[in-house]
Structure 1
Amino acid sequence: MGLNALDLGVIVAYLVGVTLFGLSFGRKQQTLKNYFLAGNTIPWWAISLSIVAAETSTLTVISVPGMAYDKNFTFLQLVLGYLIGRTVVTFIFIPQYFRGEMVTAYQLMERRFGHTLRTLTAGMFLLTRAAAEGVRVFAVAIVVRIALGAWLTGLDDFQRDFCAIAIVTVLTLIYTFEGGMAAVIWTDVVQLTIYVAGTVVGFFTILHLVPGGWDTVHAVAGQAGKFRVFDLSWNLNTTYTLWSGVLGGAFLTTASHGTDQLIVQRLLSARNARQSQIALLSSGIVILFQFSLFLLVGTMLFVFYRVFPSTVAFTRTDTIFPTFVVTRMPHGVSGLLISAILAASMSNLSAALNSLSSTTIVDFYARLRPHSSEKHRVQVSRIAVVGWAALLFGLALLARNGGKVLEMGLSIASVAYGALLGVFLLGVLTRTTTERGAMIGMVGGFALNLYLWLCTGISFTWYVLMGSVTTFAIGYGASRVMPRNENISQAEELR
């Protein structure tokens, strides 16, 4: 059926509307605290929804239904680990972050160890977050290529991808550049509402189109084993098992929500530590609902295409949901759903741009120019946002030839998360670990994860656990056997 002028109008109205909404927050961003932490004025419920939006991208919206279509509900085992990881961050990391005036997660490393380790951890975040985010940004091209194919005739695949990524990047850049974290969080709230509402509309539309409704879905999907949640096998090469989900997911979320500036910046934007803790814990409930909804939509698509076989050959499962939206949904609703998928992309991209910029300015530029004014630093921060947007645009184009976008993005992030989490745990849980020992452990953990990723078939769900344990063990051991030349009074303050 394809999209028509009504659908295109809905998409354009959304893109323009959310950009103007984000721009409305750009009048009072005169200090780094206001620009990067919204002046600590954001209520917990908005931060909670923003956290969910930040960890949800277009690749999540299109890949998770594809997983259920292709396999089953075993991805939820990873989400159970997400809930455990949030609990760890709530009671171990958040109290540390609210001791003193912090803008980035890596200032904690300087307070505990010193300048060098702060630079190393911040640099690792910049490199790996940019690489992983490039994959996420590319996911929008998959959607736009399918949705706007009729309006992009005469262009080859590269040109279509270029146009799609450019449109979303430029519009997101406009309000992130001007409004800072306040614009990012409040547009997150709007965009999460849009893409969840759009997915719910998709759910009921599919249910209506399948003859017999839920009874048919339950019977066909149940017979095919689509509702299977738990896999008790111990195979390290199997991506989603109970053990890799609960253990690996817990370590992954502890790292992503406790050491990654993308999420930590939101936690630091809360009015106080208690509101930050409530925001993080409540986001776990939302994320469980969200992923369950995405998986259920994928399962229903499996049943739908058994009843009405597709004339289109799906070369990758990431294309199944957007293809259904474009070819089977009523006009207007199709435009809403495409807008919902774009909302997830813009939300995640704005989060990445703001966190990459904050780390660049606070952890690097401000230390090189300690006497620069707040006004000057805010101006440079905006320039950094533009620079990172250009880099992510280029990386998204390079990601065009990758595999399943969700798992590729998680794999790249997990390689660094193991080393980052290990060194943060050394700083928070030990008193005797030295900066030199922690750095040695960090290099060891990162090297192990690189090996696991490039040279083995072990699933990415184990990377963070293995990398963080290795970093912790080597860092603690090196600190014990090497001559100590560091004062640990800073560690005593943390205790």
Structure 2
Amino acid sequence: MQTLDWTILIGTLVLIVAYGTYQTRGSKNVQDYLKGGNTSPWWTIGLSVMATQASAITFLSTPGQAFNDGMGFVQFYFGLPIAMIVICMVFIPLYHRLKVYTAYEFLENRFDLKTRTLTAILFLIQRGLSAGITIFAPAIILSAVLGWNLLLLNVLIGVLVIIYTVSGGTKAVNVTQKHQMIVIFSGMIVAFIIILNQLPENINFSNALDIAGASGKMDVLDFSFDLDNRYTVWTGLIGGTFLMLSYFGTDQSQVQRYLSGKSVREMQLGLIFNGILKVPMQFFILLIGVMVFVFYQFNAAPVNFNPTATEVVLNSEYAKEYEVLQQKQQDIFNEKQALLTNFVDHNNAATFQTIAEANTQQDELRAQARNLIDKAGESRNIKVESNDKDYVFIHFILNNLPRGLIGLLLAVILSAAMSSTASELNALASTTAMDLYKRNVKEKSESQMVNSSKWFTLLWGILAISVACVANLAENLIQLVNIIGSIFYGNVLGIFLLAFFVKFVKGNAVFTAALITQVLIIALFILNEYDFINLPFLWLNFVGCVIVMTIAFLIQTLKPKNHGNKLA
């Protein structure tokens, strides 16, 4: 990185933090601190909702996902517009009418205190883990690629977020997220243009799509019912709808974003804005990943994009085997150049198939390389990440973008990390303050509650940094976050749906059903991980919701009538 890159990177981050701290200093009451004084217009809500969901993981993992597997991941978001409509019609009017600070306050009004507390705790567990991952994701990748100290990066990202989130609460999060989204959109558009400009002169956008399609990267829709396919139209529409209903309707990190709205209409417009824009945004980010794939059809790529992993294996007894794979990779790349020229100049169908076969061979070499890296790590007792999906885009940025733009794209990644982490800390603090602290201790004054909320923000920030410092990578970071959510979200959504639509079910039945369901969902996830069953994680959202509603219904139906206790 050059001086210009450092200047842009540091200047962008410092300006965002300083602006958010200055603009929102001095919140005097809980209404201002936790709900932003209910002053947010719809477009602020929409951008804040998008920024909360679009973490650094989105901009690191999603292009790598497309590079490896193509555009099919966009199906994951097909349920989002459906969920937005349901939330606008059912959730928002109810939350607004009850003037709640958190989604879980409603559950005490409908059921009882223990159900509210249990649901809040489920949220705190899964969102607390996710907050650590949103810090850890960019930190570990930037550490590996740039050589920065991992512990220092975890602390740096966490501290920057804590500064303005503690200072200004919800309003600070909303204000900064608007500017973070401007940085993010600008950076991704610039990256897309740069990629296209760096393709050979005779390769236009249409040719690039054809080349990507030759290896199946443009297969967007999968209507199969095969559970081995993680992302299909049906998992997106069914599992995705339930996940998005849970996330946007019951997860306080999102609920708090639109509870800050001026009115029901502003809240609804903000979510509709998100529903309309989110799927195209994810499609565009995936398309960037596909264009990176096309770029590396004409430019030599490493057999593994994680430089730390490559260094480990090259300093092990497997070095010669790895070097053989690197040479084979280069040979296939050289052979492919003539094929690509033939394909572009003559649109030869036979060449089309040969290119796909060459890319398949390279995929096999990459798989062999990952296997060698794992062996090298085990032999040296070093934990090293062989799966390099999350390193593809950052490798492209650092090795192919001009000075200045590297700093901008790194600012995009860190801004995204800060925006999502700020929302999570803000929500964790408000849930702890309102659902656990205030509800279970002696009544506190407004100033005491604001101070307590700030201390809880600081505490959760420290815990998130701690999780980041001990976290380990999964197969893909964006999947890891969604897996954690899917383990809890279906259960929580089922509780809310019972509260909304099944009036005869009471608190004791729901509380018992929720405990049983959470144990069952964790068991199903473990069984799937060890291949005893075949249940992709997205389906856990649907299954969890159905199980908790069914068990609660049965418990309430079979329970003897007790007219003396309305919560029975």
What's 1:133 paired with? 131
What's the offset of the Cα at 1:131?
1.3
Residue of 161, 169, 176 corresponding to 1:172? 161
Q: Does 1:203 align with 2:192?
A: yes
1:19-168 maps to which residues of 2 (within 5 A)? 19-146=17-144, 148-149=146-147, 152=148, 160-168=149-157
What's the offset of the Cα at 1:277?
1.1
What's 1:384 paired with? 456
What's the offset of the Cα at 1:411?
0.4
Residue of 301, 304, 308 corresponding to 2:292? 301
Q: What fraction of aligned residue pairs are identical, expressed as a percent?
A: 33
User: Aligned partner of 1:333: which letter?
Assistant: L
In angstroms, what is the RMSD of aligned CA positions? 1.7
What's 2:175 paired with? 186
Q: String of CA shifts for 1:219-271, please: whole Å, max 9, x gaps.
A: 21121121111112212232101111110110000000111101111121111
Separation in structure 2 between the aligned mates of residue 486 and residue 362 of structure 1, nearest angstrom: 31
Separation in structure 2 between the aligned mates of residue 485 and residue 185 of structure 1, nearest angstrom: 47
Q: Does 1:229 align with 2:220?
A: yes
Aligned CA distance change for structure 1 residues 169 and 142 (closer, same or farther; 3 Å):
same
Q: String of CA shifts for 1:273-309, please: whole Å, max 9, x gaps.
A: 1211111111112211210111000000101111101
Residue of 253, 263, 272 corresponding to 1:272? 263
Q: Which moved more, 1:21-30 or 1:378-387?
A: 21-30
Aligned CA distance change for structure 1 residues 357 and 68 (closer, same or farther; 3 Å):
same
Separation in structure 2 between the aligned mates of residue 332 and residue 486 of structure 1, nearest angstrom: 71
Q: Does 1:346 align with 2:418?
A: yes
Separation in structure 2 between the aligned mates of residue 18 and residue 374 of structure 1, nearest angstrom: 28
What's 1:473 paired with? 550
Residue of 387, 391, 398 corresponding to 2:470? 398
What's the offset of the Cα at 1:213?
3.1
What's the offset of the Cα at 1:412?
0.7
What's 1:9 paired with? 7
1:349-388 maps to which residues of 2 (within 5 A)? 349-388=421-460
Bigger Cα Rg = 2
What's the offset of the Cα at 1:142?
3.3
Aligned CA distance change for structure 1 residues 352 and 484 (closer, same or farther; 3 Å):
farther
Aligned CA distance change for structure 1 residues 298 and 140 (closer, same or farther; 3 Å):
same
SS at match of 1:225: coil
TM-score by length of 1: 0.94
Separation in structure 2 between the aligned mates of residue 312 and residue 322 of structure 1, nearest angstrom: 15
Separation in structure 2 between the aligned mates of residue 252 and residue 223 of structure 1, nearest angstrom: 33
What's 1:155 paired with? none
**Is the 2:425–2:457 contact (alpha carbons within 8 Å) kept by the matching residues of 1?**
yes
User: Aligned partner of 1:350: which letter?
Assistant: A
Aligned CA distance change for structure 1 residues 488 and 81 (closer, same or farther; 3 Å):
farther
What's the offset of the Cα at 1:146?
4.8
SS at match of 1:210: coil
Query: Runs of 4 or more off by more than 4 Å in structure 1?
Result: 486-491
For structure 1, the 5+ residue unaligned runs are 153-159
Separation in structure 1 between the aligned mates of residue 248 and residue 466 of structure 2, nearest angstrom: 26
**Is the 1:113–1:434 contact (alpha carbons within 8 Å) kept by the matching residues of 2?**
yes
Count of matched residue positions in the alignment of Structure 1 and Structure 2 = 480
Q: Does 1:412 align with 2:401?
A: no
Separation in structure 2 between the aligned mates of residue 378 and residue 460 of structure 1, nearest angstrom: 38
Separation in structure 2 between the aligned mates of residue 199 and residue 447 of structure 1, nearest angstrom: 41
User: Aligned partner of 1:26: which letter?
Assistant: T
What's the offset of the Cα at 1:312?
6.1
For structure 2, the 5+ residue unaligned runs are 306-385, 529-533
What's the offset of the Cα at 1:461?
1.0
Aligned CA distance change for structure 1 residues 488 and 113 (closer, same or farther; 3 Å):
farther
Aligned CA distance change for structure 1 residues 400 and 195 (closer, same or farther; 3 Å):
same
What's the offset of the Cα at 1:448?
2.5
User: Aligned partner of 2:163: which letter?
Assistant: I
Separation in structure 2 between the aligned mates of residue 401 and residue 142 of structure 1, nearest angstrom: 9
Q: String of CA shifts for 1:171-226, please: whole Å, max 9, x gaps.
A: 11100010111110111111011111101100000000011231331221121121
User: Aligned partner of 1:57: which letter?
Assistant: S
SS at match of 1:202: helix
TM-score by length of 2: 0.82
